[in-house]
Amino acid sequence: MELSDALAARGLVAVVGAGGKKTTLYALADRLDRAVVTATVRIPPFAEHVTAVHVADDPRRVVDAATDFPVGVVRAQERADRYRGFDTETVADLRECDVDAVLVKADGARMRDFKAPAAKEPQIPSNADTVLPVASVQAVGEPLDDALVHRPERVAALTDLAVGDTIEPEHVARVLAHPDGGLKDVPADATVVPVLNKVDDDASLAVARSIAGELHDRAAVERVALTSHVRDDPLVDVV
């Protein structure tokens, strides 16, 4: 199965969570004929992953005029290492463009491997076709603290953990399957494909499969994708 098929990457695709959002966005953009990369939150520079990044007040006009894909669109450049994304309504309008997929970074994680959303997160357009909640399997076996987890107190609130406790596969699954976690603000008609990233060896594959099993017990998801972006083909397995 191709990565874009496994992740249901058609229409408007919102990526949330931690431990592989941006790499997932860019891998999908590279594998689709006509893809748009954008954000409803802040996003670091990504020119090397698209033909061009356009700073625009009217992204629909930019995308409609584009001839070389994938193309990036952002609202503004706040500083050298950060762009500002659009409001959700503006990104929702891009769903009408003649493209394969609009790929949207819809929350932030400050380069951590695991998270649960804050009160104003995620910023998912209401017409999203697909939502990809991401977590890194590398969080398993590590303490619940801010070294690897963005806002560990949020994760603690959705699990039976205290800050400092060891993260187990069931805790990752519990957060991804929780209506205030990976499923927060997902449109009712959207397809959800949880993505377990950094499945880079046999040991992490076993962990990922354990998380996936727990996810199927806790959430009505058709499949869970296991990925590793150190491989030429990032798709390791679909469970």
Tens-digit pLDDT profile for residues 40-70: 999 999 999 999 999 999 999 999 999 999 9
pLDDT digits (tens, 9 = 90+) for 192-236: 999 999 999 999 999 999 999 999 999 999 999 999 999 999 999
The two tokens of residue 220 are 């009505």
Q: Is the pTM of this model over 0.95?
A: yes
Q: Residue 83: what pLDDT?
A: 97
Domain boundaries defined on the chain = 3-238
Task: State the Cα angle at 92 between 86 and 97, rounded to 5°.
Answer: 105
Q: Residue 124: what pLDDT?
A: 98
- For 38, phi then psi, to 5°, come to -150, -170
Which numeric CATH code is attached to 3-238? 3.40.50
CA distance 101 to 71: 11
* CA dihedral sign of residues 86, 188, 29, 62: negative
Q: Per-residue confidence at 137, pLDDT binned at 50, 70, 90?
A: very high
For residue 170, the surrounding DSSP H or E stretch is: helix 169-177
With a CB cutoff of 8 Å and minimum separation 6, the contacts of 48 are: none
